[in-house]
Chains A and B, each alone.
Chain A
Amino acid sequence: MGGEAHHGKRRGNFIQRTIDSLAETLERSLYAEQFAEERGILQRLDPRVKLVAVLGFIICSAASRNLPVVGAIALVAVVLALLSRIPFTSLTPVWIGMFVFSGLIAGPAIFLTPGPSLATLPWLGWHVSSYGLRSAALLILRSEVSITFSVLLVMTTPWIHVMKSMRVVGVPTTVVVILGMTYRYIFLMLQSASDMFEARQSRVIGKLSDSDARRLASATVGVLLSKSFQLSNDVYLAMQSRGFRGEVYTLDEFRLGQNDYIAIPLIFTIFVSGIWFGLV
């Protein structure tokens, strides 16, 4: 990869394509920060206000037992993405990924939760419980809301500002140090993984048998894990060497502007309404 994201048609197996696209997505969200330069609605807000708002919306959806309320918060996220000029092409992979992961966790509840049966699966004879379906939908929707707001925050705010805002709102230094390190480390690790797969591919002739492919994949994961320890250590040492001790200093001073004074009561109203209607 050599620090560059792949463009154009990629070769390679499923794992390599996944690593490459993860690296590309991370690069876009963590580095390019082109969306942070856009003059959208979220980009005009003070990072501290954005961070508190995102945490508020996530708490609100997590606390809510009411599906339409969580749906309404999800709608707020989509509207904010539109008004912040975040293209849906950047959000869709995140939504699909979260749907698959949370779906795997929530899926069994559809059949296992006791309650009135809505339908029965052909052949298997499993009953789709209405309570189970509601629980699964709630869990998936909450996960989608959380990931969407988190991604919106990262895409519309330079990462260093996110870290500084965390310190302002009282996130402990250790957590900020770990996040700062992770920011660089994840990208380097994906680069490393992609390089390893490419190097492997260049030495493999023909198609490997399934067992050989599995053996190679597990060996690669082992080497990558060992490399990742070294890498995380080096990233931390490099930050420490240049005087980083967990406190984040930036060239830009945070100042609340007119937009923030309009946004704060609006966000507060949505938050309180969400909690109120979500719990009743």
Chain B
Amino acid sequence: MDALFTLNNIRYDYANTAQPALHDVSMTIMRGQRVAIMGANGSGKSTLLRILDGLYFPKSGTITAFGEPLDEHHLMDDTYAHAFRKRVAFVFQNPDVQLFNPTVYDEVAFGPLQMRWDKEKIARSVAETLDMLEISHLRDRAPHRLSGGEKKRVAIASVLILDPEVILLDEPTAALDPKSQSMVVDFLVGWANSGKTIVTATHDLDTVPDIADDAYIFQQGTIVAHDTPANLLQNHELLLAANLIHAHHHHHDGVPHTHPHFHLGHEHDHSGEI
């Protein structure tokens, strides 16, 4: 496996905020790796994904993608930008900002059109992608009129059609009904041996073991842990400190007690009782 992204001491600040959104972030993402970026809201996960997609540029530190520096200067070049956008796709947390075409068909065809594919190839690929995501019946519908789960599927289809090497997903299961959640997770699981590099930002711990082989925990804009999902999910103290699990009081078999609480495989995990 070769390194696709190498980040070295990245720092990013939003205007008018004292606390940096990201600081001292160094990581390497290898080709074909499935990486989970875990963290509570505001921990810097989304900012990191935007940096990986060349949408934000770090204030300090360096980032390379596919062996070349990923910076504003390189992305100004049309050839480089096209090649990069073809290889890296980003599924936003809020599908509403991502869907801006009048029909689902136009939405899915938008990326290939920007890449200047020929019309026949676009028609064929759109049909295949809609079919794969089981949304062929929605092809003439307006994206903004769809349900949350359908919108998410259209958003995924609109980036998958380019057959990218890297897929960045920001909270892919957030605000979805259980059926849509499981559909999205099934997709992520299905990409396990596809050779694609998948980076998923999430605080949905339930899905992490299925969708990632490598995981980072972020807290207040920096990496606080890096290990396999299995090892990280066993460290309840760490998860509690990172606000990824919570202790709450409830009853089991009529006995009231308090322990760190999250769900894995739909079973309550009681091993870390406090």
Interface residues in chain A, defined as those with a beta carbon under 8 Å from any beta carbon in chain B: 3-4, 27, 31-33, 158-160, 180, 183-184, 187-188, 191, 231, 234-235, 237-245, 249-251
- Is B216 close to A, CB under 8 A? no
User: Smallest CB-CB separation from A187: which chain B residue?
Assistant: B144
- Cα distance A244–B81 when bound, in Å? 10
Within 8 A of A (CB), among B38-60: 50, 53, 55
For the complex formed, measure the closest distance between the CB of B99 and the CB atoms of chain A, giving whole angstroms: 8
Query: Which residue in A32, A33, A234 is a CB contact (below 8 Å) of B97?
Result: A234
> A251, B111: Cβ atoms under 8 Å?
no
| Choice from B100, B106, B111 contacting A184 with Cβ under 8 Å | B100
The reply to whether B97 and A235 contact each other, CB–CB distance below 8 Å, is yes
Asked whether B97 lies within 8 Å of A241 as measured between CB atoms, the reply is no
Q: Indicate if B90 sits at the interface (CB-CB under 8 A).
A: yes
Chain A interface main SS type: helix
Of chain B, the residue at the smallest CB distance from A234 is: B97
Which residue of A231, A239, A249, A251 contacts B100 across the interface (Cβ within 8 Å)?
Answer: A239
- In the complex, chain A residues whose CB is within 8 Å of the CB of B110: 242, 244
B83-120 to A contact mask, C-beta < 8 Å, 1/0: 00110011010101110111000100111011110010
Query: Is residue B82 within 8 Å, beta carbon to beta carbon, of the partner chain?
Result: yes
Residues of B within 8 A of A188 (CB): 96-97
State whether A234 touches B86 (Cβ < 8 A).
no
A235 to B100, CA, bound (A): 9
- State whether A241 touches B55 (Cβ < 8 A): yes
* Complex interface residues of chain B between 107 and 161 (CB less than 8 A to chain A): 109-111, 113-116, 119, 122, 142, 144-146, 158-159
Q: How far is the CA of A45 from the CA of B251 in the complex (A)?
A: 70
Taking a contact as CB atoms under 8 Å apart, the answer to whether B106 and A32 are in contact is no
Residues on the B chain within 8 Å of A180, using CB: 100
Q: Is B78 in contact with chain A by the CB < 8 A criterion?
A: yes
**Contact between B50 and A243 (Cβ–Cβ < 8 Å)?**
no
CB B138 to nearest CB in A, in angstroms, measures 14
Q: What's the minimum C-beta distance from A223 to chain B, rounded to whole angstroms?
A: 16
